[in-house]
């Protein structure tokens, strides 16, 4: 059994940009170097109107098993991330626990999300913001199959309420719910440092022409970038070409 990197490449409304291919190719390089298998998820399970991609990805265990892929650990990663070719093998650092990275993004958004989900969905239960993880990097194993099933069951039971909260308060989709359920289900979480999910880089003044971020970490998450429709593909291709050479389809 190999460790698996699971990445979405779902074509929604024919909107895909070159950044997705940069992300996939970077993970192809990394998986080959570290003897891991890359699984690229391309087909929706349900229509987007019924369930967004961010929720459908929690069927990862079913998708791997349906494709007869044996696995040890699984990294479920966002498609707007690029991995450095010299990134250490983080699968060796999980202690077989649910593993992620604290969300060092916009704390106003994080706190607003926690407060509104607490009030409207979780009956006043609160979680600690310093334990709050970013859902774009989740390492799991077979011990977490039931937990992911509970996430999906929670969505299917509460999807109308969840959609109402998301639309009313601008608090994203699955990420804050994931954080609440991690605590409520007593999941033992291992946190890796920022270097393994470097989000919101503009605010940290490391997203620059010198690509400073590539000198201080390993996995680059291109979120929190103004004018993202144009800027994200630009920065992802610039980063990929710097680390791997000119982008090809292979």
Q: What is the mean pLDDT of residues 69-97?
A: 97
Return the domain boundaries, the chain: 2-244
pLDDT at 15 over 60: no
pLDDT at 2 over 60: yes
Whole-number mean pLDDT of the chain?
A: 94
Residues 241, 152: Cα–Cα separation, whole Å? 38
Predicted pLDDT at 17: 78
What's the predicted TM-score (pTM) here? 0.95
Predicted pLDDT at 248: 64
Predicted pLDDT at 16: 59
pLDDT at 250 over 70: no
Q: What is the mean pLDDT of residues 191-208?
A: 97
Predicted pLDDT at 77: 98
Residue with the larger pLDDT of the pair 14 and 222: 222
Residues 99, 94: Cα–Cα separation, whole Å? 6
Q: What is the mean pLDDT of residues 179-183?
A: 98
Q: What is the mean pLDDT of residues 222-245?
A: 93
Closest CA to 92 of 75, 106, 104: 75
Residues 6 or more apart whose Cβ sits within 8 Å of residue 249: 21
Q: How confident is the model at residue 10 (pLDDT cuts 50, 70, 90)?
A: confident
Predicted pLDDT at 1: 87
pLDDT at 119 over 90: yes
2-244 CATH fold: Spore Coat Polysaccharide Biosynthesis Protein SpsA; Chain A (3.90.550)
Angle at 239 between CA 220 and CA 138, to 5 degrees: 20
Q: What is the mean pLDDT of residues 157-186?
A: 96
Strand partners, 102: 133
Q: How confident is the model at residue 13 (pLDDT cuts 50, 70, 90)?
A: low
Residues 81, 172: Cα–Cα separation, whole Å? 18
Residue with the larger pLDDT of the pair 228 and 77: 77
pLDDT digits (tens, 9 = 90+) for 129-168: 999 999 999 999 999 999 999 999 999 999 999 999 999 9
Residues 122, 184: Cα–Cα separation, whole Å? 10
pLDDT digits (tens, 9 = 90+) for 45-68: 999 989 999 999 999 999 999 999
Q: What is the mean pLDDT of residues 216-228?
A: 93
């Amino acid at each position: 059994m190999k460790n698996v990197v699971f990445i979405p490449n779902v074509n929604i409304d024919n909107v895909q940009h070159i950044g997705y291919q940069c992300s996939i190719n970077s993970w192809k390089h990394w998986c080959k170097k570290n003897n891991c298998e890359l699984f690229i998820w391309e087909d929706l399970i349900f229509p987007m109107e019924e369930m967004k991609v961010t929720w459908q990805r929690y069927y990862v265990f079913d998708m791997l098993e349906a494709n007869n892929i044996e696995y040890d650990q699984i990294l479920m990663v966002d498609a707007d991330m690029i991995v450095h070719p010299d990134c250490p093998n983080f699968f060796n650092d999980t202690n077989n626990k649910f593993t992620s990275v604290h969300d060092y993004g916009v704390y106003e958004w994080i706190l607003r999300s926690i407060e509104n989900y607490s009030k409207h969905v979780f009956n006043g239960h609160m979680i600690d913001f310093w334990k709050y993880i970013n859902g774009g990097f989740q390492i799991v194993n077979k011990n977490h199959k039931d937990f992911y099933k509970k996430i999906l069951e929670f969505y299917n039971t509460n999807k109308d309420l969840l959609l109402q909260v998301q639309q009313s308060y601008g608090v994203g989709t699955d990420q804050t719910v994931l954080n609440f359920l991690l605590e409520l289900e007593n999941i033992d979480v291992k946190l890796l440092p920022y270097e393994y999910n470097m989000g919101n880089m503009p605010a940290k003044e490391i997203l620059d022409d010198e690509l400073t971020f590539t000198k201080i970490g390993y996995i680059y998450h291109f979120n929190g970038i103004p004018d993202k429709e144009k800027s994200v593909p630009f920065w992802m291709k610039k980063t990929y070409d710097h680390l791997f050479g000119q982008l090809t389809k292979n």
